């Protein structure tokens, strides 16, 4: 977790790797960290190893073994006020960031989330190397 200022605006950055075998405990610790430490505009990104929306974030609509952890993260997002930037901009589009050769399926595990901050713009680099400007409203 890094806190600082960008052009006089408080910002908190959190880079996340959620170990699949520790998902529920990790989500709880991450939520506690965000609630107690985050200030101003919060940007959290990384490999969450969770399928937040099985219909859109997984090539085959199958139940993910970490569904309880995903449900915890959805509740945490609501509590902390985080939105999935890419999903907000592309509400019905399928896009995958991971391929499992063992399961022969694509999934979207990498995410960037932020709280709603009016007039804040971010440049996002997606895993495929493309860039896009994201503006909170």
Question: What's the N-to-C CA distance of the chain in angstroms?
Answer: 24
Residue 53 contacts residue 63 (beta carbons within 8 Å): no
Kindly give the confidence (pLDDT) of every residue in the chain, 137 residues in length, as a single tens digit, with 9 standing for 90 and above: 999 988 888 899 999 888 877 767 888 888 889 889 999 888 888 888 887 877 877 776 666 666 777 888 888 788 888 888 878 888 888 877 777 787 777 777 778 888 864 444 555 555 565 555 545 44
Name the one residue in this structure whose structure tokens are 């709603």. Answer: 116
Q: How far apart are CA 118 and CA 137, in angstroms?
A: 5
Residues in the chain: 137
Classify each residue of 102-113 as buried b or exposed e, where b means 16 or more C-beta atoms within 10 Å of its C-beta: eeeebbbbbbbb
Query: Domain 2-135: what homologous superfamily?
Result: Endonuclease/exonuclease/phosphatase (3.60.10.10)
């Amino acid at each position: 977790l890094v806190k600082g200022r960008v052009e006089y605006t408080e910002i908190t950055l959190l880079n996340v790797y959620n170990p699949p075998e520790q998902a529920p405990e990790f989500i709880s610790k991450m939520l506690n960290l965000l609630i107690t430490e985050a200030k101003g505009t919060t940007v959290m990104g990384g490999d969450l190893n969770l399928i937040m929306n099985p219909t859109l974030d997984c090539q085959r609509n199958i139940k993910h073994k970490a569904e309880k952890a995903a449900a915890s993260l959805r509740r945490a997002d609501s509590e902390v006020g985080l939105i999935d930037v890419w999903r907000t901009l592309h509400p019905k589009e399928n896009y995958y960031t991971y391929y499992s050769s063992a399961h022969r399926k694509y999934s979207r595990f990498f995410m960037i989330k932020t709280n709603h901050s009016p007039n804040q713009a971010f440049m996002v680099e997606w895993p495929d190397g493309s860039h896009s400007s994201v503006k909170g409203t």
